[in-house]
Amino acid sequence: MQREYLEDKETLYFKFEQNKDDFIVDEIGVDFKGKGNFLILKIKKVEITTWDMIAAFAEFLGIEAQKIGYAGLKDKHATTTQYISVEAKYEKALKKFKHSNIKVVGKTYHTHSIRMGDLKGNSFTINLFEVDQIMAGQIEKRAMKIIKNGLPNYFGYQRFGRDQDSIEQAKEMISGELHISDAKVKNFLISVYQSQFFNDWLVDRVVFSRENNNGEFALLEGDIYMDVKGKLFTPKTTQEKDFKEHKVVPTGLLCGRDVFRARDKARVVERKYDDEFLYEKGYRREAIIFPENLKLDYKNNFDILTISFSLPKGSYATVFLEAIANRNYKAKKLK
């Protein structure tokens, strides 16, 4: 299903590429203690996956990859910085670590290993090409409005495979037509299945909002909200004031067991995108997020606009660009 956005404006045809020079990602870590039994390394990696980076450290230290902590996966085709953790006893050995695609750019200490999700978010710096002065102004205006009204928190095209074939495999596996023995592949396909339901639900809510609420995300009775600390709650009334002040956001369902379902009018929509028989653990995800720290630098003579911003963890920079451009991107071609 096509990802839809809150404002259905003229399509902008700027270009961008995910490569080491034009797509920069910096992990925003948690507040490390500065002391403890674990060494925290700030890593800059270029054109290498997080998995391969972890494997390189594990091989150098002669330990299992599972003993190296990390908070999230970062793009291969980019220059990225992220944090990893190892036991502090390896600090001396790591002084001799060398790799053409990996560089240690900082260190500190912490009381425990980094766990998946131990980050606040990510900041991005992306070069947009073929942008004239008029388009640069349009991009700035649209980005500012998204920051005010919120960005639909879709899973980006990266979630669903290069040819969007992962969702079909997931459906076949869940229906029993396809047997998957590899636990990692199975878990990945389950997450793809849940993500597609979430995206389709969000399209429904966004289109409704566009048609009935002047392009601002419409809250419904029975919505489940998340506050700034990540706590879920279902109030008796819609949270218009706190939502506009970015204190709470409505959430969407990643279907599965042991997860809160919406109620009332919100549940009427949600039920259409819920597999109540799915045994795997369910979750709720922010339906709307608010990008921050927007900066724009226009290089007039080269028709290049450099856009910088930060997003909460689990959100996609390409979704922000899609909302600005009012078009969907695909993995094969970014034009």
Q: Taking a C-beta distance cutoff of 8 angstroms, is the pair 108, 34 a contact?
A: yes
Query: Cα(247)–Cα(242) distance, rounded to whole angstroms?
Result: 5
Rounded Cα distance, 111 and 217, in Å: 41
> From residue 309, how far is each of 123, 146, 194, 235, 251 by CA, in Å?
6, 12, 27, 31, 22
Enter the tokens of residue 105. 């750019």
Could you tell me if residue 270 is left (phi over 0), alpha (psi between -120 and 50 degrees) or otherwise beta? alpha
Q: Are 290 and 150 in contact (CB under 8 A)?
A: yes
Of 75, 118, 223, 274, the catalytic one is 75
Per the annotation, the verdict on 118 as an active-site residue is no
Contacts of 272 (CB under 8 A, 6+ apart): 201, 204
Q: Minimal CA–CA distance to 204: which of 189, 221, 225, 218?
A: 218
By annotation, the residues acting in catalysis are 75
